[in-house]
Structure 1
Amino acid sequence: MTLANDYDSFAKAYADDNETGVNNAYYERPAMLALAGDVAGRRILDAGCGAGPLFAALRERGATVSGFDKSAGMLELARRRLGDDADLRVADLADPLPYEDDSFDDVVASLSMHYLRDWGPTLAEIRRVLKPGGRFLMSTNHPTAEYCIARMNGQRPDYFATYENTGEWTTATGQTIVLTNWNRPLHAMTDAFTAAGFRISVISEPQPAPEARELFPDAYHLLATAPSFLFFVLAA
């Protein structure tokens, strides 16, 4: 039986797809790096760092980066990539974070918040570990995209509800992955941000990287003409 969100069981396959696939390598990750801007000299926490591609990119740009992930299997891959001296910890985004108050200039969370049903405690912890004036940059499934997919599959979810969504995804190597996340309306996201003491600086619906047009023409057209992920920059 395949368990939902069992990243330890498919860490290598997921990491390989994340490294080169259009959604991550040519859409989500370039958008996050563009929103982060000049990070040289900043201390950044990569929340849900997976195998470490964003961690590596931020470090290459001059940031001092720490990262954590719930999956020990993903962190093993991250350590191989980033080296034994990388600050990597096994921790759950839903639990209190193992860092001191006011530790980071930025926290980044790439496609990890939508695994949580309740954002309140996690946002409070992120706010705690950020320095005054720090930033929280996050990407999540676009609520209208998830709603439209459900409708196309014959479901009739309530857009205004926070509901569980489970689906299967096949990796490039043919492994079937079961992922469960929580979809919520836009107003539930923004309400959670303000309740946690954040100010919304940016809401972004970016375009894919231009080079994806040649490499993934069909996927490029879809990403360029319909919402897929939603990005926020929040000020503490």
Structure 2
Amino acid sequence: MASTVENDYDTFAEAYAAENESSLVNAYYTRPAILDLAGEVSGRRILDAGCGAGPLFEALRDRGALMTGFDASTKMVELARKRLGPDADLRVADLAEPLPYPDGAFDDVIAALVLHYLEDWSAPLAEIRRVLKPGGRLIMAVNHPIIFKLLYPEADYFATVKWADEYIFSGQKAVLTYWHRPLHAMTDAFTAAGFRTAVVSEPHPAPGARERFPEELAGKTAFLSFLFFVLEAA
């Protein structure tokens, strides 16, 4: 329907947050991978772009980072505030629009599973570059570009294409809409925005995942899901 809001997390925020507290792809894959890539963060000023209900914000804060976060979903920010406390620096904002932060405000920006919702990366990456200090890092994860080709073998891998998938989060149905782009389009966008690619990672699941999810990981050392980057602001 034309009136449907794409990726309206307000409608399934609680179910999504509950599901991902302990899910394989979030609790045992994405969050550990981001934390590993971030490394020692004590005293670093970090912006969690698309913070959701706040699990990464919390984990980084626990490691000594000075955290700020935003999400486009009002409901997600409400859940994050409940989790993180009234003093947490949280606000409702959209990565597709100008960010409400000054130039060079942060040492790092975390963008975990956010940019793949956007067709245009130019303006969002430029805004992230603007709020990073020189030499700062963008640590990000997006859908691995091979996933689209695996799901749609006849599709053109080299095109930037909109696609959607259906999920069940804690018993609630949700549809998420993404933009597929080939790897070279990602790296070209990084370079155009003034970033240098420092790390490209296809991580293994975290310790304990195999015991927690024996069926999903049977016979696998790793799996394809997301692609992770560390970019440095040139």
- Pairing partner for 1:168 from 166, 169, 172: 166
TM-score by length of 2: 0.95
SS of equivalent to 2:67: strand
Quote the offset at 1:215 in angstroms. Answer: 0.6
Is 2:47 the partner of 1:45? yes
Amino acid at match of 2:18: D
Provide the rounded CA distance (Å) in 2 between the counterparts of 1:31 and 1:183: 22
- Pairing partner for 1:70 from 69, 72, 83: 72
Amino acid at match of 1:47: A
Once the two structures are superposed, residues 48-70 of structure 1 have per-residue CA deviations (whole angstroms, 9 ceiling, x without a partner) of: 00000000000000000000000
Is the 1:4–1:177 Cα contact (8 Å) retained in structure 2? no
User: Which 5+ residue runs of structure 2 have no aligned equivalent?
Assistant: none
The 5 Å alignment of 1:194-205 reads 194-205=191-202
Once the two structures are superposed, residues 168-224 of structure 1 have per-residue CA deviations (whole angstroms, 9 ceiling, x without a partner) of: 10123x210010010110000000000001000000000001201011012234874
SS of equivalent to 2:52: coil
With over 3 angstroms needed to count, the CA separation of the structure-2 counterparts of 1:223 and 1:98, relative to structure 1, is farther
TM-score by length of 1: 0.95
Provide the rounded CA distance (Å) in 2 between the counterparts of 1:223 and 1:3: 37
Amino acid at match of 2:109: V
Provide the rounded CA distance (Å) in 1 between the counterparts of 2:70 and 2:93: 6
Runs of 4+ in 1 over 4 A off after TM superposition: none
User: Which 5+ residue runs of structure 1 have no aligned equivalent?
Assistant: none
Which residue of the partner structure matches residue 231 of structure 1?
228
Quote the offset at 1:18 in angstroms. Answer: 1.4
Provide the rounded CA distance (Å) in 2 between the counterparts of 1:223 and 1:24: 18
Please report the RMSD computed on the Cα atoms of aligned residues, expressed in angstroms.
1.3
Provide the rounded CA distance (Å) in 2 between the counterparts of 1:13 and 1:186: 31
The 5 Å alignment of 1:30-109 reads 30-109=32-111
What percentage of aligned pairs have identical amino acids? Answer: 65
Provide the rounded CA distance (Å) in 2 between the counterparts of 1:141 and 1:221: 22
Provide the rounded CA distance (Å) in 2 between the counterparts of 1:4 and 1:128: 27
SS of equivalent to 1:230: strand
Once the two structures are superposed, residues 5-42 of structure 1 have per-residue CA deviations (whole angstroms, 9 ceiling, x without a partner) of: 11001000000111111100000000000000000000
